[in-house]
Structure 1
Amino acid sequence: MFTDYSSLLADRALYLPAISDTYAVFAHSGQFKRITAFTAQDLNFLDPSNRLFFYPWALFSAGQAAKNKSGASRSTMVSERDRNRTTVVGDSGGFQILTDKITFDGAVTARRMMRWLEANTDYSMVLDFPTGGIASGVMAKHATRLEAEGHDLAAMCRANGQSRGFNACLRQTLINNDQFVAERSPGATKFLNVLQGRNDAESRVWFDAVKHYPFEGWAFAGAHCRNLSLMLRRLIDMRNEGLLQRCSWLHVLGLSTLEFACLFTTLQQAIREHVNPTFQISYDSASPFKSAAYFNAYQGCTLSKNGWGVPTINIGGEENIGSEVTLFDFLAEKFIAERWKKQGPGDEQRIGTAISRHLRMGDICVETDNGAAWADESAHLVMNHNVQALIEAIRAAHVCYFEQDQDRVPVRLRAIQKMIQLVFKEPNPDQLIEEYRPWLDNYEQAVVVGPGYETFDDQAV
């Protein structure tokens, strides 16, 4: 059954599937090499005329799509979408540059990323250099380069008390920000000011250094994505300085657990009520695509007082070649059997996706030239299932959370919900955040998922 999600998620923080580059190309112009019930274009969930489901929000990275000049000019499901009916947030590719997946040629590379973002996305992160690359050492060569170019990182270290690696990340980001301000095409896309930092001290220095830029929104990266006290501190700072009042969009990078999805909605509601009625939060993960690449499909979701999660199962076995069983029936049978075997019937919830109800296991597991029971086309089919399955799991979590089903909502989740609401309501938020910090900062570690569950957090960027 076709589902149009465009009107089903009002007042929610929005999950953005971080589309893989290969999927974006295949869903636009690919062709299946074997007979299936669907065309490649049916997998394009940004197209309302496809036969499966329409989901008008996504994230796409310049770090994948614009690695070089020729790649930046390709047509994809993102570049050819109806921009009046869809919203795509663009990641700038800083992580790929930092890890040498993209050669960095200074202003030339920054300009290529910016032009691609302007041509393809509605909201775009500026080209930051992530602080996540400091501990691994990959930032060291950029620090050396910056010093050779005449940038006095030592003076920055003395002034702000932070490390050479941190100041190299900050300096290169400031250089890129200045270029984006000077060379942007007004109105082409709305830029998001990226906030990095591994702790509160780094976050404060970074915030003070970038807060003056005339960008339209913000993106939270680094420790801000998981450390709720750090996120709340900066949001209060933004409110106090009048920045949150004119922020149209805030994106949280690389995190989409079911519990955080609901907390982001609570945060959005609090800010809309007390600060900015048009404020929108989004968050992303590439997990539906990464999981399918490793032959894993989402089975459903569990919503228990002990924790929420989305279990996966490997479906790439040779025993499924030629099977007439639908993907939905296969996943449902395995899901219930495994859950009951472990702990008896409980809070598992099966999720049927449009493609899983028609796709046979024999359509996925096929004979290949290399003897494997899985082809690239199979991954694209399961990616589509995974995207819709996660969307539906997040919807189910919101229903459970906001209907206050006390037996299925973890106590810690209800507690954090109240803390967030109070922070934006009470007159001394900093004092409250400090008081709540032990619970806020340990929240992610307390989330119970268990073996075989996806947590949907991508590597911090």
Structure 2
Amino acid sequence: MNDKIMAERIDLSKEHKPDWALFLPAVSSFFIAGLGKQRDTTTEDYFPQERIPAGFNGDVERLNFLNSKEGLFTYKWGLYSAGHADLDVTKTIPTESIIRDREEGTFMLGDSGGFQILKCQWPADWKDPNCPRAMKKRIEVLTWMDTYMDYGMCLDIPSQSLSTYHVKDKDGKSVHGIQTIEEAMIATHINNDYFIHNRSGACKFLNVLQGLNHTQSDEWYEQMKMYCDPIKYPDNHFNGWAFGGQNKIDIHLTLKRIVGIIHDGLLEQGKHDLIHCLGTSILEYAVLFSDIQKAVRKYHNPDLQITFDCASPFFGAAKGLAYFNSNMEHNTKWTYSMEKTAENKDFDTDMRKFSDAVIAEGIHEKFADSPITNAMVMKDLCYRGHGFLNKHGKETKTSWDTLSYTLLQAHNVYQHMFAVQEANRQYDSGCVPAMLMNETFESIRFGDLVDEIFSLNDRQKSLDLIDKHSRFWMQIMSGSQGFSGKRSVNAGTMFDQLFTENG
């Protein structure tokens, strides 16, 4: 690697401040597969040397942000899902070496694969404790977590699984067997019981909370909270919480849930030091979670770490989208911006610096470089020119190949990490997004209100204060997932409050 690029390597781990909530990139199996294959010394190079950008000095390991010695940028935290992994721990899996053989000092949170149940990719009757297919997967996931993960989530059944009950197998039966929220809780109990009695202790586990509305979420918590109870399970209780469903995005419910957990004695220092919020990509939530973490640390558990993940950088790249800019101005909507980037066979010999070329060509009006694009020229992304033939002897339809997507994923994930950190820096300096302030009738700042809520040290007083400011929580929007803001008071909630549904 040339001296200029070496000097511009960035260690984002050092840029993270301990009092911020921690972003965990939800690492794509596609992203790590090619890098892992390139490491495999028993086969030929997966990426030929002539294909690797010259700025990488012949080594795609530069894209591995978990490698503090070789990565163009480094970041020591991440999330990886059992649903994407090869769960056979008895075999060497080159495509997963980035995760399995990561360096000491990195941190990986394992997602359990509940999403795969929701998507009908792990067929089984999950509410039947004797279903052999469910038991096989249960054993595989727990073994994989204990072998490779620092923290892991219990194998919950997501609330949204109800929406895919209608998907049938070849025998005409539901692929996962979960029709009601009650059945989702039954199945999660089965999985939790197995995990809590068979875990090795090598991996710490999070108790996942689901529910599509306040009523369902409250019932889920009441049923599942025992798995974090050190009195009931003194040697093997779960070690923290993961907020899924409505819990992670409806801040009214999020705050209410944390207050309840604290006053139930289930957020104790040294016993329950992690809360993870699943799949949260809204930029304002990066600072919102930091405010909550600071307040809980101040008044209850000084070791609490709030983490959150999203896969947007990887999914965006799969659609040809590049992060190119972020907006964090005071009293505005904060955003990361993605748009279609260069994809043209005419650029296969273009030696212009990538960021200069995309602006000159009018592809992007502005473009924020990452350490990845800073080491790239235009042809590194648009590698396949006119007449380029694939392995079947046919001309390719696009100028991109596997490495093109991998390069863009690395660029995107850097920009997302940087944006989260920059948002926290701006927020600490007094720049506040519109979502977290209300000055219509009285000046209200989210951080001040959250501090007051957790300072009260009285469950009912804290809950009353949360309810008092319900209109403020309604202005906090969370994009397209779940019900937030005014939508959190919904027909489903009222139905559950007023009626009992017969089977």
TM-score (norm 2): 0.77
Query: Kindly tell me: are residues 146 and 315 of structure 1, through their superposed partners in 2, closer, same or farther at Cα, counting changes over 3 Å?
Result: closer
Q: Which residue of 2 aligns with 1:85?
A: 105
* Counterpart-to-counterpart distance in 1, 2:180 and 2:313: 33
- What runs of 5+ residues in structure 1 fail to find an aligned partner? 154-163, 340-349, 448-461
Q: Is the 8 A contact 2:117 2:123 kept in 1?
A: yes
Q: Secondary structure at the match of 2:100?
A: coil
* Counterpart-to-counterpart distance in 2, 1:180 and 1:126: 7
Q: Which residue of 1 aligns with 2:190?
A: 175
| 1:387 equivalent in alignment to 2:413 | yes
Q: Which residue of 1 aligns with 2:33?
A: 25
Query: Kindly tell me: are residues 235 and 387 of structure 1, through their superposed partners in 2, closer, same or farther at Cα, counting changes over 3 Å?
Result: same
* Counterpart-to-counterpart distance in 1, 2:424 and 2:176: 49
Aligned residues with identical type, % of pairs: 31
Give CA-to-partner distance per residue, 1:10-61, whole Å, 9 cap, x none. 2211111101112122223323232423222211111111140110000000
Q: Is the 8 A contact 1:27 1:41 kept in 2?
A: yes
The offset of 1:70, in angstroms, is 8.6
| 1:374 equivalent in alignment to 2:400 | yes
* Counterpart-to-counterpart distance in 1, 2:204 and 2:357: 43
Instruction: Trace 1:31-430 onto structure 2 (pairs within 5 A).
Output: 31-33=46-48, 34-37=51-54, 38=56, 39-66=59-86, 73=93, 75-82=96-103, 84-104=104-124, 105-137=133-165, 165-186=180-201, 188-213=202-227, 214-245=237-268, 246-304=271-329, 305-318=331-344, 319-330=346-357, 338=365, 351-367=368-384, 368-369=388-389, 370-405=396-431, 409-414=432-437, 415-426=445-456, 427=458, 428-430=461-463
Q: Which residue of 2 aligns with 1:7?
A: 14
The offset of 1:422, in angstroms, is 2.0
The offset of 1:445, in angstroms, is 5.4
The offset of 1:5, in angstroms, is 2.4
Q: Is the 8 A contact 1:218 1:251 kept in 2?
A: yes
- Given residue 298 of structure 2, which amino acid in structure 1 is its aligned partner? E
Q: Secondary structure at the match of 2:97?
A: coil
RMSD between superposed Cα atoms in Å:
2.7
* Counterpart-to-counterpart distance in 1, 2:358 and 2:150: 36
Q: Which residue of 1 aligns with 2:484?
A: none
Q: Is the 8 A contact 1:72 1:116 kept in 2?
A: no
**More deviation, 243-252/350-359:** 350-359
Specify the structure having the higher radius of gyration (Cα). Answer: 2
Q: Secondary structure at the match of 2:163?
A: coil
Q: Is the 8 A contact 2:342 2:358 kept in 1?
A: no
**More deviation, 363-372/44-53:** 363-372
Query: Kindly tell me: are residues 96 and 361 of structure 1, through their superposed partners in 2, closer, same or farther at Cα, counting changes over 3 Å?
Result: same
Query: Kindly tell me: are residues 138 and 99 of structure 1, through their superposed partners in 2, closer, same or farther at Cα, counting changes over 3 Å?
Result: farther
The offset of 1:371, in angstroms, is 2.7
* Counterpart-to-counterpart distance in 2, 1:267 and 1:224: 14
Query: Kindly tell me: are residues 334 and 115 of structure 1, through their superposed partners in 2, closer, same or farther at Cα, counting changes over 3 Å?
Result: farther
The offset of 1:417, in angstroms, is 2.7
* Counterpart-to-counterpart distance in 1, 2:146 and 2:380: 38
Q: Is the 8 A contact 1:321 1:361 kept in 2?
A: yes
Q: Secondary structure at the match of 1:412?
A: helix
The offset of 1:423, in angstroms, is 1.4
Query: Kindly tell me: are residues 238 and 146 of structure 1, through their superposed partners in 2, closer, same or farther at Cα, counting changes over 3 Å?
Result: farther
Query: Kindly tell me: are residues 204 and 51 of structure 1, through their superposed partners in 2, closer, same or farther at Cα, counting changes over 3 Å?
Result: closer
* Counterpart-to-counterpart distance in 2, 1:388 and 1:332: 20
The offset of 1:67, in angstroms, is 6.3
Q: Which residue of 2 aligns with 1:431?
A: 464
Q: Is the 8 A contact 2:27 2:80 kept in 1?
A: yes
TM-score (norm 1): 0.84
Give CA-to-partner distance per residue, 1:261-289, whole Å, 9 cap, x none. 01111111111001100000110011111
- What runs of 5+ residues in structure 2 fail to find an aligned partner? 1-7, 39-45, 125-132, 228-236, 390-395, 438-444, 481-503
Number of aligned residue pairs: give it.
416
